[in-house]
Amino acid sequence: MTNIGIAPGTEICLHFSLSIIDGDEVDSNFGGKPASFVFGDGNLLPSVEAKLLGLKAGAKETFTLAPEDGFGQRNPANIQRFPRSQFGADMVLEEGLVISFADAARAELPGVVSEVDDDFVMVDFNHPLAGRMLNFRVEILSVSAQADTK
């Protein structure tokens, strides 16, 4: 078996961790079951896939992701103000509470309560990692040519 590099259509098995620079680890599968996917199938952000191109089994790398390469910049338009009366009177609203809303297509849209007073509730619909510099650490366990399943 040849030691091929990551390229479009290759099957990849890896361990990864995602952390905020100078902050907490957000997600990791080190010490657990590795992730497997086909390069280009949409499981990873395109900017992350671009950094993996050419890596071979055994490679260990850490990449810094700018907000534009991760979850985008924070958008002030994604913070919405709702009348307190739109929430149940018995609902305990506090900063940091995640509430599930439905968008126009009836898809689930999580929002985080960012401010509460007697009249209004501010809800932030930005991704929690938007605007953050991130570290993406990866260990490539295997790279193989994908079998043609068509």
How does pLDDT run across 35-79, given as a tens digit for each residue? 999 999 988 888 999 999 999 999 999 999 999 999 999 999 999
- The mean pLDDT of the chain is 91
CATH number at residue 108: 2.40.10.330
Q: Which structural domain, as residue segments, surrounds residue 100?
A: 76-124
CA atoms within 13 A on the CB side of 111: 22
**Is residue 3 included in any domain, yes or no?**
no
pLDDT tens digit string along 95-117? 999 999 887 788 888 999 999 99
**Is residue 18 included in any domain, yes or no?**
yes
Contact (Cβ atoms closer than 8 angstroms) between residue 64 and residue 111: no
- Are 42 and 81 contained in the same domain? no
Whole-structure pTM value: 0.76
69 Rama sector, left if φ>0, alpha if ψ -120 to 50, beta otherwise:
alpha
- Are 90 and 63 contained in the same domain? no
